[in-house]
Structure 1
Amino acid sequence: MSHLEVVEICAGAGGQAYGLHRAGFHHALAVELDAQAAATLEANSNWRVAVGDVADPAVWDPSEYKGIALLAGGVPCPPFSMAGKQLGSADERDLFAWAVEQVGILKPRALMLENVRGLAAPRFAAYRQHVLDRLAEFGYVGDWRLLTSADFGLPQLRPRFVLVAMKPKDAAYFRWPEPMARRLTVGEALGDLMAENGWPHAREWAAFANGIAPTLVGGSKKHGGADLGPTRAKLAWSKLGVDAKGIAEEAPGPDAPHFSLRAPRLTIPMVARLQGWGSDSGWIFTGRKTSQYRQIGNAFPPPVAEAVGRAIKSALLHEGTPHQVPELVSDLHDPIYRELSRAADFVSLERLVAAMTVGTESLVQRQLAVLARDFELEELQTANGPMYRLGDFKGFTGESSHPRNEYIAQHRNRVS
């Protein structure tokens, strides 16, 4: 147990990997689709890095890592992002449910998956419930938590929705990390980097940039470039004395004007600092500027990964005082899904209304419409009213015949 190994899927440029390494985990394998991000992983470690579609059996064999201490990953965010269409299981990039299925193969001591805040929305209540119920079938206690990166030493908000799952004997020792007492500001984090080329206004700028930045937006191969986000984010950056319309090659020099006349742009090292790669990390990002920015902007911040990783490690070592784990499924996200998934046959509308405790027929009907976006749903009209039966999950869980595989094969260079 002094050498805890992790398999990390969708590893990106190593934000989660670096944080887990600092927490005491050692990578047995990192899997990444993007060749440039994989090159960054290889440039900063001696880990085994598998490059390709994580769901492709030719890229790696999950059964080779059975009994690993931790299965971790930052599966693609666009299926759940509030900036997109929130297609969930209908998005060709969705790998969350597939990742959960690997728990049944690897049987890790712990699972850690992170995604955007959008996954916490009511739209995905049934999806989350499906994940928890599936983990319970494997014998794991699953729990979700929305963590704000600013609470863990980063001068940006960057909320991340994190899933941690363990067997009950270990889950009894798991506690979510506590927020830090004080938040770091943008000026405090970047003051030295802004001053490195002799800009005379750097100290004044650092005092002016005394707030928390909006979430960095890395973009995808479909959309997004090397700027700091949409219009609302750019406005927030301007209030911190930053021009968010692009990334600079270097910090402002001795002849650069006052930030009130022309706000400076951030450099790649500054963006990396904001995302949690400290000055002592020595992390190298490969590729051109836009690729480097995308790698950084899409990463799970190392300090957050480290905080959760330390909490997982402490639980696996059974440190501290155990607490009660009353049931395998620790939370109830969607009572309609739960009622339907447990029924052997059709369920009446009246029974579904009762399952919601406080609900109406119209509210249940709306919930069913949302549920049908991720699951097959049968409706049967009877003399006593409509009845419903839950069918298969529509998302990709590893089926060789799933349309997702064909899409990835045809559009790999566009998927990120």
Structure 2
Amino acid sequence: MPGLEVVEICAGAGGQALGLEKAGFRHRLAVELDANASATLRRNLSSGEVVTGDVADLAVWNPIEHLGVSLLAGGVPCPPFSIAGKQLGANDERDLFAWSVELCDLIKPQALMLENVRGLSMPRFAGYRQHVLDRLSHMGYVAEWRLLQASDFGVPQLRPRFVLVALQNKYSPYFSWPEPVGAPPTVGDTLRDLMASGGWEGADAWARGAQQIAPTIVGGSKKHGGADLGPTRAKKAWAELGVDAMGVADAPPGPGDKFKIGPKLTCEMVARIQGWKAGEWEFEGRKTSRYRQIGNAFPPPVAEAVGRRIHEALRQVGERRDRTVDVEHDPIYLALRKINDFMSHRQLERVLGRSLEVHELERAISDLSRDFVIEINDDANVMAYKLGPFKAFTGQEGHLRNEIFLKHKARIS
């Protein structure tokens, strides 16, 4: 299957794009909201068209024009699931995960790859994940989630990413997740040459003291101030590596420079920490924009590792194998969906085939009610629950997401 093509949504500055190119995919289209990130993509992508705008707006691009593309990929917004945020999930106007999944029903790509933050793997989103798996199965895909550590793929950083891969049934037996490649380089080894590039005499000593990997780079958003390297805990970890995390430098340290904590990182240094190699990608925009583009990216080596396995599966390389895929993330959601009527505590226990503690049920219903409409009936003093519609934006014209998005568009990133 020569010339496997990818349509990439919420493409950012191209961390995933570069990884997929290295994995053997050619871009047919990349869609991105931010103008500076779009300019970065246009400057660096070796193939395909780049369009700028709301990815859910049919005036920006028409999904049906890409029917049957090899791969649909994206790094949809993280704030709806971030542990550092409110974890609004389906109620966050930036949530495009469910919408991206529904694109498979329109485009019918041979494979889907979506990445997001570790928060999406938490129990809070078990029902959300279950809904996604159910929808993809209904569309004829075998889907699986996997929490991948960027440091397992040569990236000198603590950066867990929660990745969803789905393949049409005929390709699924050829897919397997990539294996770790070994210990990553340290921050000191990664950045020594850049720290010395301005003539700073302390670069070697600094590198010897920075023999750990970095905390997670935090790109931030337009809703919050300028560029720095993260919250208090991250700043403390950076200080232990001899890095001043209170901002981003315009240039590497120079001759005679002395620091209380250590030098600040430049955007080029942050890109190295994210997995970009020297000179392989140039970022457009002012410093804060460049930093956000880099900091919010999917590390290219991780995207490449997963992309290679998808590429091999689509070419049906290797032996077919029986894959054991975890298809159950939320048994209470599954029980409510199966019966599709009001169910009491005792009825749920019978369907589950086990006892169900009151606090467990209450927590599950509370979590589900944040992403689904849950009807509650307390007739005869017996509480009963019924699973209603999914609240997430999946393309509905009248969904509240559209109104909120237009209102806050300038601040969404």
- Fold-level match, TM-score > 0.5? yes
- Distance verdict in 2 for CA 1:185–1:356, change over 3 Å: farther
* 1:340 and 2:316 are equivalent in the alignment: no
* 1:330 and 2:318 are equivalent in the alignment: no
* 1:127 and 2:123 are equivalent in the alignment: no
Q: Residue 285 of structure 2 corresponds to which residue in structure 1? A: 287
Q: Deviations over 1:121-179 (max 9, x none)?
A: 11000000000001011011110001111111111111100000012221111111111
The one-letter code sitting in structure 2 at the alignment partner of 1:179 is P
Q: How far, CA to CA, are the matches of 1:109 and 1:269 in structure 2?
A: 36
Partner SS, residue 179 of structure 1? coil
Selected match of 1:359 from 356, 360, 372: 356
Partner SS, residue 232 of structure 1? helix
Q: How far, CA to CA, are the matches of 2:106 and 2:162 in structure 1?
A: 24
* 1:316 and 2:317 are equivalent in the alignment: no
Q: Please say if residues 168 and 325 of structure 1, whose CA atoms lie closer than 8 Å, have aligned partners that are also in contact.
A: no
Q: How far, CA to CA, are the matches of 2:264 and 2:355 in structure 1?
A: 51
Q: How far, CA to CA, are the matches of 1:358 and 1:239 in structure 2?
A: 48
The one-letter code sitting in structure 2 at the alignment partner of 1:134 is R
Q: Deviations over 1:1-60 (max 9, x none)?
A: 121100000000011001100100011000001111111111112420111000001011
Q: How far, CA to CA, are the matches of 2:359 and 2:394 in structure 1?
A: 32
Q: Residue 103 of structure 2 corresponds to which residue in structure 1? A: 102
Moved more, 95-104 or 376-385: 376-385
- Distance verdict in 2 for CA 1:394–1:289, change over 3 Å: same
Structure 1 segment 206-217 matched on structure 2, within 5 A: 206-217=207-218
Partner SS, residue 71 of structure 1? strand
Q: Please say if residues 151 and 183 of structure 2, whose CA atoms lie closer than 8 Å, have aligned partners that are also in contact.
A: no
Q: Residue 89 of structure 1 corresponds to which residue in structure 2? A: 90
- Distance verdict in 2 for CA 1:310–1:230, change over 3 Å: same
Q: Please say if residues 276 and 303 of structure 1, whose CA atoms lie closer than 8 Å, have aligned partners that are also in contact.
A: yes
- Unaligned runs of 5+ residues in structure 1 are none
Structure 1 segment 11-410 matched on structure 2, within 5 A: 11-45=11-45, 46-257=47-258, 261-281=260-280, 283-325=281-323, 330-354=326-350, 355=352, 357=354, 359-383=356-380, 385-410=382-407
Q: How far, CA to CA, are the matches of 1:17 and 1:32 in structure 2?
A: 12
Report deviation, 1:204.
1.3
Q: Residue 4 of structure 1 corresponds to which residue in structure 2? A: 4
Q: Please say if residues 218 and 224 of structure 1, whose CA atoms lie closer than 8 Å, have aligned partners that are also in contact.
A: no
Q: Please say if residues 353 and 364 of structure 1, whose CA atoms lie closer than 8 Å, have aligned partners that are also in contact.
A: no
Q: Deviations over 1:320-370 (max 9, x none)?
A: 2222146xx732100011111122322222132342735313311221111
The one-letter code sitting in structure 2 at the alignment partner of 1:137 is H
Q: How far, CA to CA, are the matches of 1:34 and 1:400 in structure 2?
A: 23
The one-letter code sitting in structure 1 at the alignment partner of 2:226 is G
Q: How far, CA to CA, are the matches of 1:49 and 1:395 in structure 2?
A: 27
* 1:411 and 2:408 are equivalent in the alignment: yes
Q: Deviations over 1:260-318 (max 9, x none)?
A: x441110111011111110141x111110000000000011100000000010111111
Q: How far, CA to CA, are the matches of 1:362 and 1:233 in structure 2?
A: 34
The one-letter code sitting in structure 2 at the alignment partner of 1:348 is S
Report deviation, 1:102.
0.2
Q: How far, CA to CA, are the matches of 1:288 and 1:84 in structure 2?
A: 26
- Distance verdict in 2 for CA 1:356–1:152, change over 3 Å: farther
Partner SS, residue 299 of structure 1? coil
Partner SS, residue 271 of structure 1? helix
- Relative to the length of structure 1, the TM-score reads 0.96
Moved more, 22-31 or 215-224: 215-224
Q: Please say if residues 156 and 185 of structure 2, whose CA atoms lie closer than 8 Å, have aligned partners that are also in contact.
A: yes
Q: How far, CA to CA, are the matches of 2:172 and 2:89 in structure 1?
A: 28
- Relative to the length of structure 2, the TM-score reads 0.97
- Distance verdict in 2 for CA 1:358–1:278, change over 3 Å: farther
Query: Aligned pair count?
Result: 411
